[in-house]
Amino acid sequence: AETRTVASPPEDEAQRALLLTAARCHGVGTAADLADYFRIRPAEAHPRLEELVADGRLSRCTVEGWSVPAYRHPGVVIPKQVEGRALLSPFDPVVWFRPRAERLFGFRYRVEIYVPAGKREFGYYVLPFLLGDRLVARVDLKADRAGDRLLARGVFVESGEDREEVAGELSSELDRLASFLDLNEVVVGRRGNLAKTLRAVRA
DNA sequence: ATAGATCATTGGAAGGAGAG
DNA sequence: CTCTCCTTCCAATGATCTAT
């Protein structure tokens, strides 16, 4: 095998390249959104972003409801509609940067495995439920290997969502996840404002 | 105010010990 | 060799405290 030595790029150039990649992955985002993607300090990201704007590689824009300016990648396309249905990992890019998730979806999310048990709001290991272009619910899951069951210990719907529809879609997704995890059945607990509807849907 | 450091919390994976 | 049991280690972010 042949190896080539390539000089490390200057830091500012590397940061611009990383921020441009972040912008491509985000479509549109605030300086804080883009900086966090590769963990660049905001104080350094700001001048790098302005340099990219000056070069024409990014454009500045405003987003309705956002209090700070945004940066848009020129290649971004806006889909006519977004179809999707997924239980997200706590570390999924959709929710990774909590302020962005909250700003975009009105979805306040914390990974409560790090929160003392008594102070947990939703549960130990809670996955957001993405449906279409919204985060419509969250569910506290546990794979009970010994019992061969997927436990949905708490199920919570966001306000303003259609409970029946969300419960139906979530029910299907839980079956899919149980199958993926090679677990025999899904057991829905009693905690949460969607637990009752979900249990009824599955009955 | 803001940044940095430190500790807290569990599931699971990996590896060793010991039994058969 | 295979299996089980046990211990150790790792992953991640949030809460809290300290320092600037």
- What pLDDT digit, counting tens, does each position of A21-44 carry? 888 888 888 888 888 777 777 777
Helices (runs of H) and strands (runs of E) counted in chain A: 7, 8
CA of A111 to C1' of C6 (A): 30
Query: Is the CB of A17 within 7 Å of strand C?
Result: no
pLDDT at A3 over 70: no
Higher-confidence residue of A46 and A111: namely: A46
Which CATH code, of 2.40.160, 1.10.287, 3.40.630, 2.30.30, is assigned to A85-202?
3.40.630
pLDDT of residue A4: 64
CA of A17 to C1' of C8 (A): 40
Nucleotide of closest approach to A113 (CA, C1'): B9
Q: Where do the structural domains in chain A lie, given as residue ranges?
A: 11-72, 85-202
Three-state DSSP string of A23-68: HHHHCEEEHHHHHHHCCCCHHHHHHHHHHHHHCCCCEEECCCCCCC
- What pLDDT digit, counting tens, does each position of A79-131 carry? 888 888 888 877 777 887 777 888 888 888 877 776 666 667 788 788 889 99
- What pLDDT digit, counting tens, does each position of A124-165 carry? 788 889 998 888 998 888 877 666 778 888 899 988 999 999
Confidence tier at A181 by pLDDT (50, 70, 90): confident
Nucleotide of closest approach to A97 (CA, C1'): C13
pLDDT of residue A117: 65
Query: Is the CB of A82 within 7 Å of strand C?
Result: no
Nearest residue to nucleotide C14 when comparing alpha carbons to its C1'? A114
Query: Is the CB of A111 within 7 Å of strand C?
Result: yes
pLDDT of residue A149: 78
Confidence tier at A2 by pLDDT (50, 70, 90): low
Phi, psi (deg, nearest 5) at residue A139: -140, 135
Nearest-angstrom CA–CA distance, A143 and A162: 27
Amino acid at A94: V
Nearest-angstrom CA–CA distance, A14 and A30: 19
pLDDT of residue A114: 66
Nucleotide of closest approach to A112 (CA, C1'): C14
pLDDT of residue A145: 67
Find out if CATH 1.10.10.10 is the number for domain A11-72.
yes
